[in-house]
Amino acid sequence: ATINRIAAGEVVERPASVVKELVENAIDAGAMRIDVIMDDGGRGLIAVTDDGHGMNPEALDLAVTRHATSKLADDDDLLNITALGFRGEALPSIASVCRMSLISRVAGAEQAWALTIEGGERQNLAPAALAAGTRIEVRDLFYATPARLKFLKTPRTEIDYAADAVRRLAMAYPAIGFSLTTDGRAVLRFDAVPPALLDSPAEARLARLGAVMKRGFADNALTIEAERQGVRLTGHAGLPTLNRGNASAQYLFVNRRPVRDKLIFGAVRAAYADFLARGRHPMVALFIDLAADMVDVNVHPTKAEVRFRDAGTVRGLIVSALKHALAEAGHRASTTVSETALGALRPHGGTQPLFGSG
């Protein structure tokens, strides 16, 4: 129990960490719909329900054993990771600092099974009711480590962190529907992109990006597509006129894994250096795809950082692809900014022309 709580100090920083880990597990389980419920900023309840392939009783019991994972085959190693999760730390770490219940049912099984854990102490498996898939409930987060509660922010702030985690995963998986509800109020809802769009990955991704990023991003984004030495870069980058005062609207993914990588952020900043004033930041969503053995995702327990085998190639590809797209765009203006400017010329925000017609 002590070992798990030590691990939880790295894996479970705040309620958003729990949401991220559980949603990633649902994605790995092949879910097409993932619903998250939070009460009191995640302190009271975090529940994640999915329609994935579920777990049988044996797997359910093993899932909360530290370092047990179904995502690495016997002959795999840590240089060939294709799943979002793989360390086998998340569930036992979370369970060690809360009251957790897991209910799961494999498609076609006669019934679901439930496992309850309190402060790391597991109870006996018991039959339960649930449609195919899995539901994990986390209650009284950090009750077993009360000192950690003092470091949490207000419920609203913790919800914002969780919503950001869901948004990032939703961007990478447009075929999956996501929702986040807190205290009975819908915070996020992203329906799965229509099947007709899924035939065009770029269109499907842009549709989801538009739903997540708003502010006219889909209408004012440049399509990015380039490849170099086995590294493929796709995504969309906002026009320079669609910018912000911070980098919060820069979303970066490596093999569909949301990351916060200084190398990639630096490459984006360098590409826009000649197009943006100092202190302004572009809106971008970039997806890097490369062979699993060309990137190390086992750098930190949160898996938010990565290391590239050839960092220079990755950085050069990002800078050149963005600069090329921006140069081709020329002086094209953002419709969002243009409409705002026109609105400022209209008295009282009306639609009458500035000058008379007669």
Residue 335: pLDDT over 50: yes
Residue 124: band (very low, low, confident or very high) from pLDDT cuts 50, 70, 90: confident
Q: Which of 160-174, 192-206, 317-331 has the highest mean pLDDT?
A: 160-174
Would you say 260 and 305 are in contact if contact means Cβ atoms under 8 Å apart? yes
Residue 62: band (very low, low, confident or very high) from pLDDT cuts 50, 70, 90: confident
Give the global pTM: 0.85
Q: How many helices (H) and strands (E) does the chain have?
A: 11, 18
Distance from C-alpha of 312 to C-alpha of 180, rounded to nearest angstrom: 38
Question: What pLDDT is attached to residue 259?
Answer: 93
Average pLDDT on 119-140 reads 90
Task: For the chain, list the strands marked E by DSSP.
Answer: 33-39, 45-50, 99-105, 112-118, 121-122, 126-128, 133-139, 177-182, 185-190, 221-228, 231-238, 243-244, 250-254, 257-259, 281-282, 284-289, 295-296, 307-308
Residue 350: pLDDT over 50: no
Residue 329: band (very low, low, confident or very high) from pLDDT cuts 50, 70, 90: confident
Which residues are registered as beta bridge partners of 256? none
Average pLDDT on 66-84 reads 67
Over residues 247-278, the pLDDT tens digits come to 999 999 999 999 988 999 999 999 999 999 88
Residues 6 or more apart whose CB falls under 8 angstroms from that of 281 comprise: 243, 244, 245, 246, 247, 249, 250, 269, 272
Tokens read off for 334: 């953002």
Which residues are registered as beta bridge partners of 53? none
Average pLDDT on 163-175 reads 96
Over residues 3-25, the pLDDT tens digits come to 555 555 556 889 999 999 999 99
Per-residue b or e along 84-111, where b marks 16 or more CB atoms closer than 10 Å to that residue's CB: bbbbbbbbbbbbbbbbbbbbbbbeeeee
Over residues 205-215, the pLDDT tens digits come to 999 999 999 87
Average pLDDT on 94-117 reads 92
Would you say 163 and 187 are in contact if contact means Cβ atoms under 8 Å apart? yes
Angle separating helix axes 311-329 and 262-272, nearest 10 degrees: 30
Question: What pLDDT is attached to residue 159?
Answer: 97
Distance from C-alpha of 15 to C-alpha of 282, rounded to nearest angstrom: 29
